[in-house]
Amino acid sequence: FRKSVLGVAGLAFTGGVFAGPIAAHADTTPVTSGKPVAAVQADKPDTSKLIPHGVQGKQSKIDLNDEQVSNVKAIIAATKKAGLPERAAVISIATSLQESKLENLGHLGDKNDHDSLGLFQQRPSSGWGTPEQITDPEYATLAFEKGLKQVDGWQDMPLTEAAQTVQVSAYPDAYAQWEQQAADLVAQHWNS
């Protein structure tokens, strides 16, 4: 089954360019008066759907610029277009955080990992699409999520396992560190 997923999705070997030590996710929980706060906005996705297994391991977080936020919104829009739930957007955004820090990367010259491009560091030589296609955030997201949909039981897998099955990275556990930030971004932008 795995070979068919790899073959059909045209999966890429990625990961080497952006791997390395990452700053730990800072606790940004607001300090309150000591009273429990149970505010839930009706327009926010249910956290239990965004992170059904809880986060795995130490979390990382980066500050995003306008371009990166725009790419988050493009990933969410493509996920909705594909008719997939919020969890698919969390997996997609966490994958992009690991692969490109949500930057739509062109060819990086000597620093390039083979011919990897775009938000998901997909490779034209592995069948992901043309360089123009895989540097289009909507196309790249839909291609990633097409591969995700072919992973049997992806909805019930830990994030890093689902992402790794599609991406086939040299650093298979690296996706887990971005789950909290990805879920926070989906909660913030899903209905905006």
Please give the full DSSP string across 20-46, using - where no structure is assigned: S--PBPP--PPP-SSS------TTSPP
DSSP assignment, residue 106? Answer: -
Instruction: Read off the pLDDT of residues 76-92 as tens digits, 9 standing for 90 and up.
Output: 999 999 999 999 999 99
Instruction: Read off the pLDDT of residues 105-122 as tens digits, 9 standing for 90 and up.
Output: 876 555 555 678 999 999
* Model confidence at 192: pLDDT above 50: yes
Instruction: Read off the pLDDT of residues 12-24 as tens digits, 9 standing for 90 and up.
Output: 333 333 333 333 3
* Mean pLDDT, rounded, of the chain: 79
Q: Minimum mean pLDDT among 48-57, 63-72, 150-159: which range?
A: 48-57
Average pLDDT over residues 49-74: 91
Instruction: Read off the pLDDT of residues 164-189 as tens digits, 9 standing for 90 and up.
Output: 999 988 888 899 999 999 999 999 99
